[in-house]
Structure 1
Amino acid sequence: MSTPPPPRTTTSDSAPLTTATAPDDGALAWLRALGPRGRRAFAGAFGGYALDSYDYFTLPLSMVALAAYFGLDSAQTGLFTTVTLVASAIGGAAAGVLADRIGRVRALMITVVTYAVFTVACGFAPTYETLLVFRSLQGLGFGGEWAVGAILVAEYASPKHRGRTLGAIQSSWAVGWGLAALAYTLVFSFFGDDTAWRVMFWTGALPALLVVWMRRRVQDAPEAAAARERSTEKGSFPAIFKGPLLRTTLFAGLLSTGVQGGYYTLATWVPTYLKSERGLS
C-alpha cells in the first residue's frame, strides 16, 4: 500500500499553509492556545475575580441599610470604601511578593479565602468600628486576588494572545457586579433592611467553593514554576522601584490611581444616589 505524501508546510506565497500548520486565528484562539491546564487556570482566575467583585459590591449595595442601622452620615459610610481600597493596595503588593515566593495558585487561594472570610465576618459585625476593621481586612484579599490571578494566567498565555486572555479575565468583574445586583434584589425582597445587609455579607462565603475546586484542579504553569525554583532571587517589592522598572512602576501607578479613583467613586456612590435621591428600589 502506498503511503500518502506528507503535508506541505511551506509558508511561501505560492504554497499556503495546510490545515495542519495554519495558525489558529479564530475568535476563541486565545482560549484554545492555553491548553487544558491553562484553561483550568483561566477558569480559576475568572471565578476568583468575579467573586472578588461580588464580595466588594455587597457593601455599596447595602450602604443605605447600613447607614440607617448604625446611624451613620455620608463621611462615615464613605470611610468603609476608603479603608477597603487602601487595604487593597497593600494586599495587591503583598500578594505579588507572596506569589513569587510560594507559587501562584497557593497565593491565589489565600487571597480568595481572605476576602471570603472577612466578607462573611462583616455580616456578624456588632458595631460600626468592628465592621470597619473587618472591611479593611477584606480589602487585603480583594486587592491581592487580581494581582495573583493575572500572573497565573499570563504565564500560560502566549505573547500573541496574552492581552486578549487577560482582558477576558478582567470582564469577570462585570459578572460579579451583576450577580451582586441580583443577590441584592432577592435578599432585600425577602428580608427587612436590618437583616438583609447581614445576609448579603454572608453570601460572600461562596468563594470557598471555588478554593476547593482550585486546590484539586489548578496548577502553576510548569515552565514558570521551574524557572522560579532555579532563580536565586525571590519576590521583592522594592525591586519594582529600581533600575528600568522604576519608570514603568511610576507611570502605571499614576494611570491606575486616576482610573481606579474615578471608577470606585462612581461605583460606590451611584447605588446610594439612585435609592436616596431618585427613590429607586
Structure 2
Amino acid sequence: MNTDIHTAERDLTDRMDSMPLTRKHRRILGASGIGWAFDAMDVGLITYVIAVLTDQWGLSGTEKSWIVSAGFIGMAIGAAAGGRLADRFGRRTIFTATLIIYGIATGLSALVSAVIPLVILRVFVGLGLGAELPVASTLVAELSPRKVRGSVVVWLEAFWAIGWMIAAVIGYYVVPASHDGWRWAFAVGALPALYAVYLRSSIPESVRYLLRRGRRLEAEAVVESFEADIRKGQKQTSRVPVAEPDVTSAARSIYSPELRKRTIALWAIWFMVNFAYYGAFIWIPSILVSEGHSLVQSFGFTLIMALAQLPGYATAAILIERWGRRPTLALFLLGSAGSAVAFGLASTHTTIIIAGCLLSFFNLGAWGALYAITPELYPTSLRGRGSGAATGFGRLASIVAPFAVTALLAATSKGILFAVFASAFAIAALALIWIPEFKGASLQR
C-alpha cells in the first residue's frame, strides 16, 4: 500500500516536472513577482528617506545606521521563522501573511515623527520582508517545470529590479518634492497589504508541500489545473528520466552529514553578498551627497544605476540553464568584485554612472542565480527552513553593514570601502566550490 502511495506521489511530481512552461506558470510568476517588487520598493525607499531625514531630523550617523539596520534585524528573524512556518503551514499561506505584515508596518511609518517609533516599525517591516523572499522563491521553484526552473526563479528575482526602479522614481520625484514627501513614499508602501488579498486566491499551493502533508487530493487538483491549461492550446512534453539529486528526504536536518557542507558554504555566500550589496546600495545616495553632489543629482545617479539591474537578471536567466548554476553565479560574483573596485575609484559623473551600472548589472544577476540555487539544495521537508536559514544568516550581514560603512568611511575612504565589498564578493565566489550543481535535476522529494 505504501509503495502504491509513493508511486502515485512520484507520478504527480513527475507530471509537474515534465510540463512545458504554461500560461498558468507565467501568471504565478507575475503574481509572485509583484509581491517581490513591493519588497524591493520598500528596501529601496529607505535609502532616499534616510537622506532626507538626515536633513529634517538632524540624524547622527548612529541613528541612520539604526534605522537601516532595524529592518535587517527583522529580516533576519523573519527569514528563519518564515522558512520553518512555510514547511509547516504552507508556502502560499506564509507568503500572503508576510505581505500583510510589512505592508501595514510600512504604511504606519508614514505617521511617525521620531527615530525610536520608526526603528520599531522598521523591525516589523523587516519581519514581513525577510519571511517573504525565501518562501516565495521556494514556492515558485516547486511549481516550475524542471527544464526551466532556474530561469523562472531568476525572473522572479528580476522583479526586484522593477521594484527598485519604482523606488528610484518615487525617490527622485516624490521624496524631495515637499517636506512630507517621504511620508507619501511610505504610504505607497502600504499597498502590499491590499495586494495580499488577491494573491491568496491567484496562486496555488506547492504540490510537493501538499504531498509531504498527506494532502494528495489537493495536490492532484493543482496538477490537473496546470494540465487543463496545457490542453487549451499547448502540447504536453513527453516524460523523460530525470536526474535525481544526491540527497534524499532521509536527511532530518540542514546540519545533517549529507547537508552540512553545502549549508555552511551557502551561508557564507549569503552573508558576503548581503554585506556587499546592502553596504553599497543602501548608502550610495548618502555617499554621493557627502562627496559634494546635490541630493537630487545623487538620486538621479541612483535611478540610472537601477536601470542596469534588469539586463543583469536577463543575462543570468539565460546562462543559468545553459551554463549551469555554479558557473553563472561565479561569473556574476567576480564581475561584482571588479565593478566594486571600479566604483570605489570613480570620481567623475561619467565614471560614477558607468561603474555603478556595472555593479548593478553583476550584483543583481548574482542575486538571481543565488535565489535559484538555494531551494534546490534541500529536500521538500527541509526546503523552507533551509532557504530561510540561509537568508536569515545573510541578513546578519545586512545588520552589520550600515555600522561598518559608517566606521570605514570615517576611518578610511570610499575606495577602501568598496575594496572591502569586492573582497566579500570574491569570498562568496570561492565558497561555490562546496555547492553542488543541480542543472537538469528534479527537486529532491
TM tier relative to shorter chain: 0.7 to 0.9
| TM-score calculated relative to the size of structure 1 | 0.80
TM alignment of 1:78-157, pairs within 5 A? 78-157=65-144
TM alignment of 1:155-234, pairs within 5 A? 155-188=142-175, 190-192=177-179, 195-221=180-206, 223-230=207-214
Q: 1:173 to 1:271 in 2, by over 3 A?
A: same
Report deviation, 1:64: 1.8
Q: 1:279 aligns with which of 273, 288, 294?
A: 294
> Hey, what's the Cα distance between the residues in 1 that align with 2:130 and 2:259?
21
Q: 1:267 aligns with which of 281, 289, 307?
A: 281
Query: What is the match of residue 77 of structure 1?
Result: 64
- For the residue of structure 1 that corresponds to 2:25, the secondary structure is helix
Letter in 2 for 1:258: M
Q: 1:170 to 1:155 in 2, by over 3 A?
A: same
Letter in 1 for 2:135: V
Whether 2:266 is the aligned partner of 1:252: answer: yes
- For the residue of structure 2 that corresponds to 1:171, the secondary structure is helix
> Hey, what's the Cα distance between the residues in 1 that align with 2:202 and 2:175?
35
> Hey, what's the Cα distance between the residues in 2 that align with 1:209 and 1:250?
38
Report deviation, 1:276: 4.0
Contact 2:101–2:128 under 8 Å retained in 1: yes
- For the residue of structure 1 that corresponds to 2:67, the secondary structure is helix
| TM-score calculated relative to the size of structure 2 | 0.52
Contact 2:101–2:193 under 8 Å retained in 1: no
- For the residue of structure 2 that corresponds to 1:241, the secondary structure is coil
Letter in 1 for 2:214: R
> Hey, what's the Cα distance between the residues in 2 that align with 1:212 and 1:90?
24
Whether 2:255 is the aligned partner of 1:241: answer: yes
Letter in 1 for 2:99: V
> Hey, what's the Cα distance between the residues in 2 that align with 1:172 and 1:129?
31
Report deviation, 1:174: 0.9
Contact 1:88–1:144 under 8 Å retained in 2: yes
Letter in 2 for 1:123: A
Report deviation, 1:37: 3.8
> Hey, what's the Cα distance between the residues in 2 that align with 1:58 and 1:206?
14
Q: Aligned pairs, how many?
A: 242
Query: What is the match of residue 17 of structure 1?
Result: none
- Point out the more displaced range, 256-265 or 183-192: 183-192
Q: Deviations over 1:44-68 (max 9, x none)?
A: 2211111100011121111122122
> Hey, what's the Cα distance between the residues in 2 that align with 1:63 and 1:83?
13
Report deviation, 1:157: 1.2
Contact 1:55–1:116 under 8 Å retained in 2: no
Structure 2, unpaired ranges of 5+? 1-16, 216-251, 297-445
Report deviation, 1:35: 2.9
> Hey, what's the Cα distance between the residues in 2 that align with 1:144 and 1:196?
28
Contact 2:104–2:190 under 8 Å retained in 1: yes
Whether 2:49 is the aligned partner of 1:49: answer: no
> Hey, what's the Cα distance between the residues in 2 that align with 1:96 and 1:188?
34
**Of Structure 1 and Structure 2, which has the larger fraction of its residues in helix?**
2
Contact 1:92–1:143 under 8 Å retained in 2: yes
Report deviation, 1:190: 3.7
- For the residue of structure 2 that corresponds to 1:220, the secondary structure is coil
Contact 2:41–2:167 under 8 Å retained in 1: yes
- Point out the more displaced range, 207-216 or 259-268: 207-216
- For the residue of structure 2 that corresponds to 1:126, the secondary structure is coil
> Hey, what's the Cα distance between the residues in 2 that align with 1:206 and 1:197?
16
- For the residue of structure 1 that corresponds to 2:44, the secondary structure is helix
Report deviation, 1:117: 1.1
Contact 1:91–1:142 under 8 Å retained in 2: yes
